[in-house]
Each structure stands twice: as structure tokens, then as C-alpha cells.
Amino acid sequence: MSLFRKISERLHEKRVEKASKQAKKSSHRTEYLLNDNTPFDVTEAFRNLKAALSVSVPRKEGGVTIMTTSAYPEDGKTTVTVNLALMFALSDAKVILIDADIRKGRVAKYFKCRTIPGLSDCLSGQNSLDEVIHHSHMNENLSYITCGTHSPKPYELLESEEMQNLIEELKTRYDYIIIDTPPILLISDALAISPFTDGVALVCRHQVSYVSDIARALNTLKFAKANILGVIVNDYKEPKQHKFYGGYKKYYYYNSYSYGSTNPEEKEEDPLEPSDEITKE
């Protein structure tokens, strides 16, 4: 084994170890939904993202299925996915958001509801599709399916014929099916769903994600023959400049996310409550 390969593998092990420690240390994360008080530039960023994806995968009669994933935790993937689904709903499209992270899904927290019943319960035959579809109070066009009961074999559920049939059924009811999946370099669950989707968007985080990890994630998706729509750079902020001994010192600020607990009844730290009134585009 070459020295370069040994160093590369060691760096990879350290990143996985760091992500695991962050997950254990910070099981509480802030769930943020777009509302009337959201800064204009944030809302506009999601509007531009929605427009870009709409061009990449044009709206069709059978419904469009878009999957999101990330290389590792801490990239804000679920926050991006939930708000992207909401932005599509604000444009008068019928949208359903699916939490396909059966291990540690967090979509339920954004809507302040329980995770059960959800996707895994439907795929295992415990509940019907109609029983696991929830309707959002944020917008009448937005529905969602939570992750459901934790399963010892999530990959097998996601690659099953039942999952494919579920997506095909949802295509007859909705214009867009947005699927949130786990980090692709941590676990392989996303690869089970990619064959059923029209496109995949990879979420990374400014000043946090490694370029090498993004490249590895993209190569993994390419190997699975997924239709890669692009990379979403999350949490980008212009550097703030301060005078410092005749020059300028740059500061970068970003929030913290982790791959933590899914219990919506747990106490959150400084939660951002969503507004019940959102103006349509």
C-alpha cells in the first residue's frame, strides 16, 4: 500500500470519527422553516434553487422525483430539503416530502409531529399509504411522510419493490416527490433509492465540507448511475471584514448541525418556531 493511500485512508477515518463524536455531543439541532420573517436573501436563495432544479428536471404529468443527500452529517441537508419542498409548494405545485432516513430521520421535528407511523411502517405493511401521509399546516400544497419506526434493515426496505410501488403511486398524486436520504459516505441507504428517482442533488456546507469528500460522494453516485443534478452549497456567507492593524481580518460564521436524535418530543435549544402564515409566490 502506498504512503499516499495510507494517509488518505487515515484522514477518512478521522473525518468519520469526528462526525460520530459531533453526533453524540450535539443531539439537539435547530429546525428552521422559511416564514414571513425570513431574510430576503435566504428566501431568494431557495427560490433560485427551486428554479434551477425545475430547469434540470422539467415538470411532467407523471410527477418528478428528486433525492437529496450529502457526504457526511453536519451539512444542513435536511434543512435544505424541507425548505426546498416548501418552496415548490409555494409555487402552486403539489409536493410530498419523504423522510427516507429510517435510521435517524428528522423531518418530523420540522413539523412538530411524531415519527410514527411513517415510511418504514408503510413499506413493512403495518400501515397503508394514506395512513402515513401527513398534511402540513405551513401550506396546503405540501404533504410529508416521516421516517417511521426504526428498522434493523433499512437498506432492504428502501430497495424493495414496495418502495418502488410507493413512489409510482405518489407520482399519480403529486407534481414533485422530494426525498431526504442519509449521508452517502456514512451509510449506503441513498443508493437504494437513486434508481427510482429522476435526479439527485448533493448538499455540501461552505467552509465545512471537504472537496475530497464531495468528489468521493459524486463518484459514488456516478457509479450507481444516478442522474446528478448538481451540488448545493449550503450556509454560504460573505466574509465579514474588520480593520486589523491597517489591513482586514476575515471572519466566517456558520450554525451547527449534527446527526442526532429523532424524537420530536425532546426539548430543543432555542427553537425557531415556524410562522403559520406564509405568502404564496
| Winning range, highest mean pLDDT, from 97-101, 103-107, 277-281 | 97-101
| pLDDT higher than threshold 90 for residue 281 | no
Give all domains of the chain, ordered by start, each with its CATH number: 11-251 (3.40.50.300)
Euclidean distance between the first and the last CA atom of the chain, given in angstroms as a whole number = 57
The β-bridge partners of 74 are none
pTM of the model as a whole: 0.76
| Range in 26-30, 87-91, 121-125, 147-151 with the lowest mean pLDDT | 26-30
Between 252 and 56, whose confidence is greater?
Answer: 56
Work out the average pLDDT over 96-108. 94
Measure the CA–CA gap between 102 and 147, rounded to whole angstroms: 5
Question: 98 Cβ partners below 8 Å, 6+ apart?
Answer: 119, 144, 145, 170, 177, 178, 179, 180
Work out the average pLDDT over 106-118. 93
pLDDT for residue 18: 61
Question: 59 Cβ partners below 8 Å, 6+ apart?
Answer: 93, 175, 176
pLDDT for residue 200: 96
pLDDT for residue 35: 87
Sign of CA dihedral 45, 47, 49, 55: negative
| pLDDT higher than threshold 50 for residue 278 | no
| pLDDT higher than threshold 50 for residue 26 | no
Of the pLDDT bands very low, low, confident and very high (cuts 50, 70, 90), residue 47 is very high
DSSP label at residue 99 = E
| Range in 23-32, 48-57, 139-148 with the lowest mean pLDDT | 23-32
Count Cβ atoms below 10 Å from residue 196 Cβ, excluding itself. Answer: 18
